[in-house]
């Protein structure tokens, strides 16, 4: 029996049982057989969820880029590592071989060193989905610098907050980016952001759209001339297993985004293992994850997981509807993609278009379809299964989080029977629990509760950058000795899990996690606004959309309301980005509050969702009369 590659359902159960009985032995065998270590670990696992502290493979020495690149050169030097498909289908795709990737990563690593970046320094990467994005993450890892990728759809303010929170010394960006027919002035956004970031010494600029941009003397440098002079060999920095590999921000239910810190060895082992099994990856497969590397899905399943397995990973710069809604399927056919991994929001958008967009392309190369980011509704699941998988490619509905680093719950394709809307079983090494409101574990099947994890796994985030206290409070304080996910879930009669959604104030819009608090904070900065509350309501394509209730300082005439709505969305765009814009804004004279002053979001949510038949208990409200007013004026 091989631990690493599961072959049938019986073996899955055996492996999972073994991983629970002896987790250290289970992960040790995987780590030993499938990776390159400069020094072996002294201890597989140290953990204490009370502190909390988790260490995997303590004492081991390695460099993750040796595992993702160098070790493949001997047998896969000419194999395509990254297959870059540009925004414009007329521009030729780039096949970057493992050998070329090695050279380009080393050159950039040498440039970073030359520019004064050392082990442990933070480098912010703010780039579109071009090869330099993947190469930048790997170049940082090569020299032990900690990368912090910020999704290039975030605004200048969101970028500066993230740069400052982790004290980045450098930003890597591009002159601009392509998005369908549009271009975006990324460098302009960076310039704005850096007005507030005194700690940034250097900005490296990739030329992508050849626009006229300003280069600030002494700070900004074009990357290409520096690369041209750099050597193609760079000795990897030898890292400790628990040295930070990267920081990735995720929004929480309050204030500042949380800089989740992932460390080297455990993250590598877990993303590689899950990539292999969840996608049943075989040599010569062409794997395509449509996520942006600015999100955890891209980190783990475009860059690290696939490359650690010597796979070919497709990187797509564009959007699903350019030049038309057939683009995804055109790419699948063109590159003979074998595994396709996307988000329910994309599936729902694609399902709205004419079937001809799908049917005119040959999708026969596909073997596995994946879904991630939010619950996949039954309709979308069937559309995906019928029209893309032709009922032959299993759908893996993968549940996980930025914090978990890798996929936690998922069917194993061709092994676990799938069931629409169910993520099914935990992967080997993952010990789930469902908890009730009183902190008791709910045992047995056909139950629902709050999803927790009771034992560490190798790729869990170790802390929040600069705020271990918040890490403890957010994840380890709701239930004793458990990691709390923030999600609700149910377990069916055979033990399959179905994720029902967030139980906190995070709303998932088009697969992006949005905390309500930061959006409310930015709305409240509008001079006319006194107070606001945001809730989610169901949306055909986005899954959820945002509904804002806003109290104005002075009640204006309704004709000024439309202008205010525009201005409020403008502020949100500036503070966070266009993804956080509100679909509906209702002006109101008050918000339903408890006696302790907490907004009763439950009621606002029901009104936004048009479920006003049963508003539940309103007896604890301070101002029950406002509920009727809000209902009467609901949008």
Closest alpha carbon to 313 in 305, 323, 324: 305
Cβ–Cβ < 8 Å for 56, 102: no
- Give me 447's structure tokens: 């139950």
Judged by DSSP in three states, 211 sits in: coil
Give least dist CB 351 to ligand 7RM, A: 17
From 290, 297, 516, 569, residue interacting with ligand 7RM (rule: CB under 6 A): 297
Query: Measured from the CB atom, is 86 or 266 closer to ligand 7RM?
Result: 266
304 belongs to the binding site for ligand 7RM (CB under 6 A):
no
Give least dist CB 68 to ligand 7RM, A: 20
274 belongs to the binding site for ligand 7RM (CB under 6 A):
no
User: Which 3-state string (H, E, C) describes 145-195?
Assistant: CEEEECCCCCCHHHHHHHHHHCCCCEEEEECCEEECCEEECHHHHHHHHHC
246 belongs to the binding site for ligand 7RM (CB under 6 A):
no
580 belongs to the binding site for ligand 7RM (CB under 6 A):
no
Closest alpha carbon to 211 in 171, 181, 184: 184
Q: How far apart are CA 250 and CA 545, in angstroms?
A: 19
From 398, 459, 532, 588, residue interacting with ligand 7RM (rule: CB under 6 A): 398
247 belongs to the binding site for ligand 7RM (CB under 6 A):
no
Q: How far apart are CA 432 and CA 390, in angstroms?
A: 33
Cβ–Cβ < 8 Å for 548, 580: no
**Residues 6+ positions from 80 with CB-CB distance below 8 Å:** 95, 96, 97, 312
Residues 489-500 as b/e (b if ≥16 CB within 10 A, e otherwise) read bbbeeeebbbbb
How many C-beta atoms surround the C-beta of residue 257 within 10 A? 21
Query: Measured from the CB atom, is 126 or 301 closer to ligand 7RM?
Result: 301
How many C-beta atoms surround the C-beta of residue 3 within 10 A? 21
Q: How far apart are CA 533 and CA 120, in angstroms?
A: 40
**DSSP code of 377?**
P
Candidate ranges 205-213, 294-302, 467-475, 544-552; the one touching ligand 7RM (CB under 6 A) = 294-302
From 397, 504, 505, 520, residue interacting with ligand 7RM (rule: CB under 6 A): 397
402 belongs to the binding site for ligand 7RM (CB under 6 A):
yes
Contacts (CB under 6 A) with ligand 7RM, residues 470-489 = 485-487
Give least dist CB 160 to ligand 7RM, A: 22
Query: Measured from the CB atom, is 287 or 295 closer to ligand 7RM?
Result: 295
For residue 311, which phi and psi values (nearest 5 degrees)?
Answer: -90, 170
Q: Is the preceding peptide bond at 52 cis, omega within 30 degrees of 0?
A: yes
161 belongs to the binding site for ligand 7RM (CB under 6 A):
no
Give least dist CB 494 to ligand 7RM, A: 18
Residue with tokens 């003979």: 336
The site that binds ligand 7RM (CB under 6 A) totals a number of residues, namely 22
Give least dist CB 571 to ligand 7RM, A: 24
Query: Measured from the CB atom, is 289 or 366 closer to ligand 7RM?
Result: 289
Report the Cα–Cα distance between both ends of the chain, in Å, rounded: 59
178 belongs to the binding site for ligand 7RM (CB under 6 A):
no
510 belongs to the binding site for ligand 7RM (CB under 6 A):
no
Judged by DSSP in three states, 34 sits in: helix
317 belongs to the binding site for ligand 7RM (CB under 6 A):
no
From 127, 186, 296, 408, residue interacting with ligand 7RM (rule: CB under 6 A): 296
Give least dist CB 555 to ligand 7RM, A: 37
86 belongs to the binding site for ligand 7RM (CB under 6 A):
no
Query: Measured from the CB atom, is 313 or 532 closer to ligand 7RM?
Result: 313
Contacts (CB under 6 A) with ligand 7RM, residues 418-447 = 423
Question: Contact residues for ligand 7RM (CB under 6 A)?
Answer: 250, 295-297, 372-375, 397-402, 423, 485-487, 499, 502, 508, 513
């Amino acid at each position: 029996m091989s631990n690493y590659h599961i072959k049938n359902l019986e073996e899955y159960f055996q492996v999972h049982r073994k991983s629970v009985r002896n987790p250290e032995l289970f992960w040790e065998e995987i780590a030993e057989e499938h990776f390159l270590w400069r020094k072996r670990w002294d201890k597989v696992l140290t953990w204490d969820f009370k502190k909390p502290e988790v260490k995997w493979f303590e004492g081991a020495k390695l460099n993750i880029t040796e595992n993702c690149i160098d070790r493949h050169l001997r047998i896969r030097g000419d194999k395509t590592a990254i297959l870059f498909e540009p925004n414009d289908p007329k521009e030729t795709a780039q096949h970057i071989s493992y050998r070329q990737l090695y050279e380009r990563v080393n050159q950039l690593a040498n440039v970073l060193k030359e520019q004064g970046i050392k082990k442990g320094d933070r480098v912010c990467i703010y780039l579109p989905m071009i090869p330099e994005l993947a190469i930048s993450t790997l170049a940082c890892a090569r020299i032990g610098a900690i990368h912090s990728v910020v999704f290039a759809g975030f605004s200048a303010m969101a970028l500066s907050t993230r740069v400052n929170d982790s004290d980045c010394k450098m930003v890597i960006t591009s002159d601009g980016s392509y998005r369908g027919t549009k271009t975006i002035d990324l460098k302009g956004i960076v310039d704005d952001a850096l007005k507030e970031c005194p700690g940034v010494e250097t900005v490296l600029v990739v030329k992508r759209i050849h626009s006229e941009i300003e280069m600030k003397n002494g700070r900004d440098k074009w990357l290409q001339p520096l690369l041209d002079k750099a050597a193609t060999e760079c000795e990897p920095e030898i890292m400790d297993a628990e040295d930070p590999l990267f920081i990735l921000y995720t929004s929480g239910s309050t204030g500042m985004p949380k800089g989740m810190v992932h460390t080297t060895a455990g993250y590598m082992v877990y993303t590689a293992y899950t990539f292999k099994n969840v996608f049943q990856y075989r040599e010569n497969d062409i794997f395509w994850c449509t996520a942006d590397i600015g999100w955890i899905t891209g980190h783990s399943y475009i860059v690290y997981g696939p490359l650690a397995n010597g796979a070919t990973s497709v990187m797509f710069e564009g959007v699903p509807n350019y030049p038309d809604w057939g683009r995804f399927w055109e790419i699948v056919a063109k590159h003979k993609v074998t595994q396709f991994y996307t988000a329910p929001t994309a599936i729902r958008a694609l399902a709205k278009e004419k079937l001809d967009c799908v049917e005119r392309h040959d999708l026969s190369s596909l073997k596995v379809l994946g879904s991630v980011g939010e619950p996949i509704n039954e309709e979308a699941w069937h559309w995906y299964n019928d029209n893309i998988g032709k009922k032959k490619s299993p759908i893996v509905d993968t549940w996980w989080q930025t914090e978990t680093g890798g996929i936690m719950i998922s069917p194993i394709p061709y092994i676990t029977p799938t069931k629409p809307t169910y993520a099914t079983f935990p992967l080997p090494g993952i010990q789930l629990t469902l908890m009730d409101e009183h902190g008791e574990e709910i045992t047995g099947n056909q139950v629902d509760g709050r999803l927790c994890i009771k034992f560490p796994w190798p790729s869990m985030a170790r802390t929040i950058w600069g705020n271990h206290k918040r890490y403890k409070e957010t994840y380890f304080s709701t239930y004793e000795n458990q990691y709390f996910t923030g999600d609700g879930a149910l377990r069916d009669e055979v033990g399959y899990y179905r994720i029902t959604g967030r139980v906190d104030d995070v709303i998932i819009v088009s697969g992006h996690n949005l905390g309500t608090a930061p959006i409310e904070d930015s709305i409240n900065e509008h001079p006319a606004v006194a107070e606001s509350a945001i809730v989610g309501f169901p949306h055909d394509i986005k899954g959820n959309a945002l509904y804002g209730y806003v109290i104005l300082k002075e009640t204006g005439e309704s004709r000024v309301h439309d202008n205010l709505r525009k201005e409020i969305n403008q502020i949100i765009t500036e503070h966070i980005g266009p993804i956080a814009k509100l679909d509906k804004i209702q002006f109101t004279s008050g918000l339903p509050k408890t006696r302790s002053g907490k907004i009763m979001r439950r009621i606002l949510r029901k009104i936004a969702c048009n479920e006003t038949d049963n508003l539940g208990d309103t007896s604890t409200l301070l101002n029950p009369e406002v509920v009727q007013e809000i209902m009467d004026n609901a949008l």
